[in-house]
Amino acid sequence: MLKGKTALITGGGRGIGRAIALAFAREGARIAVAARTVEQIEQVATEIGNGAIPLTCDVADPESVKRMFGELRERFGHADILVNNAGIAESATLVNTTDEHWHRHLSINLSGTFYCTRAALPAMLKNGWGRVINIASIAGKTGAPYITAYSASKHGVMGLTRSLALEVATTGITVNAICPGYVDTEMVSRGVERITERTGRTAEEALDSLKKMSPQNRLATPEEVAAVALLLASDEGRGINGQGINVDGGSVLF
């Protein structure tokens, strides 16, 4: 399905990014996984094999993004498929949201998506084919208490997705977002820890409260998100453009 294509996945060292990298590799894509944690991306690249490469990058730093794409060009040429998955999720009431907390979410979740997409797009336009897949969140479509900065950054990702999708609609490039709910990843595990610290509930009770956010009463899996990403990356998914596809068990119905 993806033979001959090169895919760059940011935040590719664990969780959703790792699952997407593995799924794309199984379909024949050349894989570059990027993140700040070298050990994790090296482990994923080794797990994939077949020439997969790890690229160290801080997506919030435009110079780091520039270096990453320079290394990618030296190794693979260009990215046919870009998955903007790198992100953070922290919680705070609005009055306790510091400038640092606010700007950290915007710089990683939103500006990082912008920097990487801007760097990848010229080659896609030149080749007349490309896929940009942004990992947003259902928090990019709705709100929730204590995640103002996170939700604002993901709403921004949705705006970027929709606007760029229309900009490149006739060029052979599609731009879409995937909007997961709570997914069984390390990020959610850290969220459970924060809930237990702040509320005194047990880890089991905290996890159960997150599961109940979904009508299916469960966490999604990284592989479920990866399956949607695979469709969006394929030629069969070329008619899907400018969309935010929920993977949340039905908790958000738009």
Residues belonging to the active site: 150
Q: Which residues pair with 116 in a beta bridge?
A: none
Query: Domain spanning 6-181+221-246: which CATH class is it, in words?
Result: alpha beta
Domain ranges of the chain: 6-181+221-246, 183-219
Q: What is the pLDDT, as a whole number, of residue 31? A: 98
Q: pLDDT at position 214, please?
A: 95
Sheet of 30-35, strand order: 53-56, 30-35, 6-10, 81-84, 130-135, 173-180, 244-247
The owner of tokens 């944690």 is 37
Q: Would you state the pLDDT for residue 186?
A: 83
Q: What pLDDT score was predicted for residue 198? A: 80
pTM of this prediction? 0.96
HEC secondary structure over the chain: CCCCCEEEEECCCCHHHHHHHHHHHHCCCEEEEEECCHHHHHHHHHHHCCCCEEEECCCCCHHHHHHHHHHHHHHCCCCCEEEECCCCCCCECHHHCCHHHHHHHHHHHHHHHHHHHHHHHHHHHHHCCEEEEEECCHHHCCCCCCEHHHHHHHHHHHHHHHHHHHHCCCCCEEEEEEEECCECCHHHHHHHHHHHHHHCCCHHHHHHHHHCCCCCCCCECHHHHHHHHHHHHCHHHCCCCCCEEEECCCCCCC
88/231 Cα distance (integer angstroms):
25
What's the average pLDDT block by block, 10 residues per block, for the chain (254 residues)?
Answer: 97 97 98 97 97 98 98 97 97 97 98 98 98 98 96 98 98 98 88 82 87 95 98 98 98 94
Are 128 and 172 in contact, with CB atoms under 8 Å apart? yes
Q: Are 27 and 3 in contact (CB under 8 A)?
A: yes
Tell which residue, 174, 192, 173, has the closest CA to residue 182: 192
Q: What is the pLDDT of residue 148?
A: 98
- Residue 51 is predicted with a pLDDT of 96
- Exposure string for 102-130, b = 16+ CB within 10 A, e = fewer: bebbbbbbbbbbbbbbebbbebbeeeebb
**pLDDT for residue 27:** 97
